[in-house]
Structure 1
Amino acid sequence: MKLRADQTGDRGIPMPLWLQGALESAQAAVISALVVLAPIVAVWATAGFQNNNFDALARLGGQAWLLIHGVPLHLTTVAGDAAAQPESGTLSLIPLGLTLIPFLLAWRAGRRLARASYTDQLWQALLGSWLVYAGFGMATGFVCRTDDVAIFLWFAGLMPLVPFGLGMVVGARREAGSWSRLIGVDAVDWIARTSQHSRWAGSYLGSAIKAGFVALMAAFTMSAALLAVDLFIHWDLVIAVYEGLDAGAMGGAVLTIAQLGFLPNLAVFALAWTSGSGFALGVGSQAGPLGTAVGPLPSIPVFAALPAGPLDYGFVALVVPVLAGALAGWWFLREGENHFDEWLSIKIRSRWFTASASTIVLGAIIGVAAGLMAGGLAWMARGSAGIGRLTDIGPDPLSTALWVAAEVGIGVVIGYAAGPWLERQQKLREADLDTAKP
C-alpha cells in the first residue's frame, strides 16, 4: 500500500526519508522560534528590557520557545539586598495557545511525510524528524541556561516531542485516512477474525468513549462562551487595567498576545469553574461558582474579569456539564450501539429493570470517559508562575475529573431517557414540513 509519490533531489535520486523528516522538523523548529521571538524583539527594539544585550535577548527567546513546548524553567531570584536569601521556583504554566504553533507546524510536516512514504516506511521519516527536533530542544536548553534560569537538558530534549510528535502523528493520520492504514495494519481483517460478542463490546465501548468526547467538547464550548460573556461584561475593568499599566502601543500589543496565548488555559479554567471544582489563582485561593476568595493578583488585564465575592446564582453554572451530558446521551442513542442493553434484555425479561440498569451503566461509562479527558485538560492547563504566591495556578485535575464525570453521567441518563421523545418530536416536525410543501 502506497501513500506517496517519491520525493527526489535535483538529480532524480530519491531523498532518504529520515533526511526529509529531519529537514521538516528543522524547518518547523526555526519557524516556531521566529514566531516566538518576534514580540520579544519588538519589546527589545523599544528599549523595553533593562538588559538590552543581544545575547540576553536570544536566551530569553530560547527560554520562551522551550516554555511553549512544556519544558519547565527553574528560576532563582534574590529579593531586596544582596544579603537576602535567594528564592527559587519553577515556571511551568504553559501558554497552550502558543503551543498550537509547533503543533500545527508538525501537523503540516506529518501530512507531507505521509505523502512521501510507503505505509511500512513512515517510521523512518518520523524517527529522523523526532531525533532532530529533540536535538534542537536540547541544544536550545544548553545555550539558554543562565544563573537565574536552570534548564534540565533531558526535559529540553524530550518535552518538545510531546506537542510536536502528537501534531505529526495527527497530520500523518489525516493524510493516510485511517489509523490502520497509517501503521500498515488491516483493521477490517483483524476485526473479522474476532467474535461477534467482541465486536459488539468494542463498538459499544468505542461509541461510549466518543460520546464522552462529545460531552467534553460541548461543556468546553459552553464554558468558553461563558468566559467570552464575562469578558464582555467586565470589559471596562479590563480597559482600566490596561490604562493603569500605561505600557504603550508596543507593550500593550505584546501583553495582549501573551494573554491570547493563555486563552485556551482560561477556557479550561472556565470548564472547571462551571463544573463546581473551581480553580486556584495562587496558594490558598479558590475561584468557583459559589464564591471567589483570592489574594492580591498581578496587574494582568484579564484578571479584572474574575467574578469576586459570593455569587447569588452561581450554582446555575453547574447545569453546563449536565446539558453537555444530555447531548452526549442523545448522540449515543442516535448511534444505535447500545449492545449492552440488547444483551441485558435477552438475559433478563423485566424490561423496566434492564432499561434502567443499562442506562445507568451507560451514564457511568460516558461520565468516566468525559471526566478522564477533563482531568487531562486540567493537568495541561495548570502550572506554576515561578516564585511567590502564584506557584499554584489552575484547576485540580482529580477534582475536575470527579465533578465532570458525575455531572456528565447524570446528563447522559437524562439525555438517553429523553432521546426517544426528542426523536419523535423531530420526526413530527419533518412530517409537518413535508405536508406544508406544495
Structure 2
Amino acid sequence: MKLRADQTGERGLPMPLWLQGALESAQAAVISALVVAVPIIAVWATAGFQDGGADVLARLAGQAWLLIHGVPLLLHTVGSGAGSASLPDAGALSLVPLGLTLIPFLLAWRAGRRLARASYTDQLWQALLGSWLVYAGFGLTTGFICRTSDVGITLWAAALAPLVPFALGMVIGARREAGSWSRLIGVDAVAWLSRTSQHSRWAGSYLGSAIKAGCVALMASLAMSAVLLAVDLFIHWNLIVAVFEALDAGAMGGAVLTIAQLGFLPNLVVFAFAWISGAGFALGAGSQAGALGTAVGPLPSIPVFAALPAGSLDFGFAALVVPVIAGTLAGWWFLREGENHFDEWLSIKIRARWFTAAASTLALGVMVGSVAGILAAGLAWLARGSAGVGRLTDIGPDPLRTALFVAAEVGIGVVIGYAAGPWLERQQKLREADLETAAN
C-alpha cells in the first residue's frame, strides 16, 4: 500500500491519521466559534446587552454556534394566560441560517482535502473517525455548558447535528482532492461495473442521467429564483431602507442585522423558489405567501420582510413558468446526453413508434420531475424552521407541497424540452453553419 504520488515524501515524521483528523476538527471548531462570537462581542462593546457578563456572552456565542449547525434551541418564555395568570410557554428556535452554516462546511471541506493528501489510499476512514469524534465531543460539550433555564439544548442533538454539515463538507473536500472514489476508498467502480450485464449498465446510465437532469432542473430553478429575489429586493429597496431607519439600531447594530440577514440569504432563495413554484411559504402559523396570492399576519420589523409582495397579484401566475423553463432545459440536456435507453428498449419491444416515443418521453418527465421534486423537498426542509416565538413557529415552505408543485412543473418542462430538443439541435447547427460561412 502506497501514498498517492502527489503526497510521497510530504512529511518526515508522519502523524497518526486519527490524531491529525482530531487536530483539523478542533481547528475548524475553534475558528467557526470565533467567527460567530465576533458580532456578539461587537454588540456587547456598544452596550447592546442588558446583561454583559462574560459567562452570558460565552453562552450566547455557544448557542449561536449550535444553531448554525442545525441544533434546535428550546426557548422557555412566560406567556399570558387567561385572566391575570401567566403560563409558561416553550418554543423551539430551529430556523437555521444556511449562509452561516457554510462557515463550518467550508472549514470541513478544507480539512477533508488536507486529510486526503496525508492519508494512504483506503485509509482515510481513520482520519475521518478521529475528526468526527472530536467534533461531536465539541458539540456535546458546548451544549452541556450553554444550557440555561431560558434556553434548553438536547445533548444528543448537540453532539450529532453538527456532524451533518461538517462530515458532508469533509467528505466532499476529500473526494475533490482524491479525484475519484476509487482513489479515496480503494474501490474500483469501473471494474465493478464491467462485471455487470449490459442491461444493468444501460439501466444505470439511464437512471444516472435522469438524476443529473433533475439536478440541472433544480439548479436552473434556484438560479432564476435568486435573480428574481435580487430584482424584488432592488424594487423594494426604499421600503427596506425605511425599516432600517425606523429601527435606529446604530452603526454596529445595523451591521450585525445585515450580517444576520445575509446569513439567511440561502433560506430566502429557497423561499423564492417555493414562491415561484406556486407552493408558497409560511411566515407564521396560518399564513401563506406565494405567486398565487399572499395572506400573512403582522410581521416583525425585519427589513427584508418589506420586500415581500403582498395581496392578490394579477400576473403572479406567470412566475409558475420558471420551473417549467428549468425542466425544458433539463429535457434538452438529457437529449444531448444520449442515454435514453428506456426509449431504445421500448422501441424494440413495440413497433409503433408514435406510441413508444410518447410513452418514453412521458416516463422521462415523471422520472426527472420526481427527482427534482425530492431534491426541492430536501431544500424546503433545510430552509424551514421555527423562530420559537408566538405565531412565528412556522416559517418556510412545506416540503411535501413544494415537492408536488415542483415535480409537476419540471415534469411538464422536461416533456417539452425533450420533444423540442431535435428542433433546437437543428437550429443550433444552422446558426453554427451561418457563422462559419460568414467567417469564411
TM bucket (normalised to shorter chain) is over 0.9
The 8 Å contact of residues 70 and 94 in structure 1, kept in 2 or not, is answered as yes
Question: What is the correspondence of 1:17-416 to structure 2 with a 5 Å cutoff?
Answer: 17-79=17-79, 84-416=86-418
Displacement of 1:239: 0.3
Cα deviation, 1:39-82, whole Å, max 9, x if unaligned, reads: 11100000001111111000000000000000000010124799
Structure 2, unmatched stretches of 5+, are: none
The 8 Å contact of residues 76 and 88 in structure 1, kept in 2 or not, is answered as yes
The 8 Å contact of residues 6 and 116 in structure 1, kept in 2 or not, is answered as no
The 8 Å contact of residues 271 and 280 in structure 2, kept in 1 or not, is answered as yes
Q: For 1:126 and 1:169, how far apart are their aligned partners in 2?
A: 9
Q: For 1:200 and 1:239, how far apart are their aligned partners in 2?
A: 56
Displacement of 1:2: 3.2
Q: For 2:9 and 2:80, how far apart are their aligned partners in 1?
A: 62
Q: For 2:184 and 2:117, how far apart are their aligned partners in 1?
A: 11
Structure 1 residue runs of 4 or more that deviate by more than 6 Å after TM superposition: none
Displacement of 1:83: 5.8
The 8 Å contact of residues 283 and 392 in structure 2, kept in 1 or not, is answered as yes
Displacement of 1:86: 1.6
The 8 Å contact of residues 20 and 125 in structure 1, kept in 2 or not, is answered as yes
Question: Which residue is 2:3 aligned to?
Answer: 2
Displacement of 1:96: 0.2
The 8 Å contact of residues 114 and 175 in structure 1, kept in 2 or not, is answered as yes
The 8 Å contact of residues 6 and 14 in structure 1, kept in 2 or not, is answered as no
Amino acid at match of 1:68: I
Give percent identity, aligned residues only.
81
The 8 Å contact of residues 123 and 185 in structure 2, kept in 1 or not, is answered as no
Cα deviation, 1:342-378, whole Å, max 9, x if unaligned, reads: 1111111111111100000000000000000000000
Displacement of 1:85: 1.5
The 8 Å contact of residues 33 and 61 in structure 1, kept in 2 or not, is answered as yes
Q: For 1:43 and 1:188, how far apart are their aligned partners in 2?
A: 55
The 8 Å contact of residues 7 and 15 in structure 1, kept in 2 or not, is answered as no
Amino acid at match of 1:2: L
Q: For 1:14 and 1:7, how far apart are their aligned partners in 2?
A: 9
Question: Which residue is 1:13 aligned to?
Answer: 13
1:425 to 424, 427, 431: 427
The 8 Å contact of residues 344 and 358 in structure 1, kept in 2 or not, is answered as yes
The 8 Å contact of residues 212 and 369 in structure 1, kept in 2 or not, is answered as yes
Structure 1, unmatched stretches of 5+, are: none
Cα deviation, 1:395-431, whole Å, max 9, x if unaligned, reads: 0000000100000000000000000000000000101
TM-score by length of 1: 0.98
Displacement of 1:5: 3.5
